[in-house]
């Protein structure tokens, strides 16, 4: 049976560049945010896709599909 669980979101989300705030303009799509976040993480980790997937908490195949989706 499904039970509702309270999710506590942090006040500030870390970015892969500086562990600081993630400021996103109002109206930015989730796809645009995801693409930016993935690309910045990939750059920070010297284009290492395995480490990027690990840091983002996704599988390498999921990362590959997302990179293909965004044309990266």
The pLDDT confidence band at residue 4, using thresholds 50, 70 and 90, is low
Stronger pLDDT, 18 or 31, i.e. the higher one: 31
Q: Give the count of domains, the chain.
A: 1
Residue 49 structural domain: 30-69
Which among 14, 31, 8 is positioned nearest to 23, based on CA atoms? 14
The domain that holds 45 is classified in CATH as 1.10.10
pLDDT of residue 3: 56
Q: Is residue 3 domain-resident?
A: no
Q: Is residue 41 domain-resident?
A: yes
Q: Is residue 10 domain-resident?
A: no
Q: Is residue 47 domain-resident?
A: yes
pTM of the model: 0.65
Is residue 56 a contact partner of residue 38, using CB atoms and an 8 Å limit? yes
Longest CA span, the chain: 44
């Amino acid at each position: 049976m499904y039970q509702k669980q309270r999710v506590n979101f942090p006040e500030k989300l870390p970015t892969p560049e500086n562990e600081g705030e993630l400021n996103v303009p109002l109206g930015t799509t989730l796809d645009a945010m995801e693409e930016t976040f993935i690309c910045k993480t990939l750059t920070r980790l010297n284009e290492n896709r395995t480490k990027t997937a690990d840091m983002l908490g996704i599988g390498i195949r999921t990362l590959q599909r997302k990179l293909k989706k965004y044309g990266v």
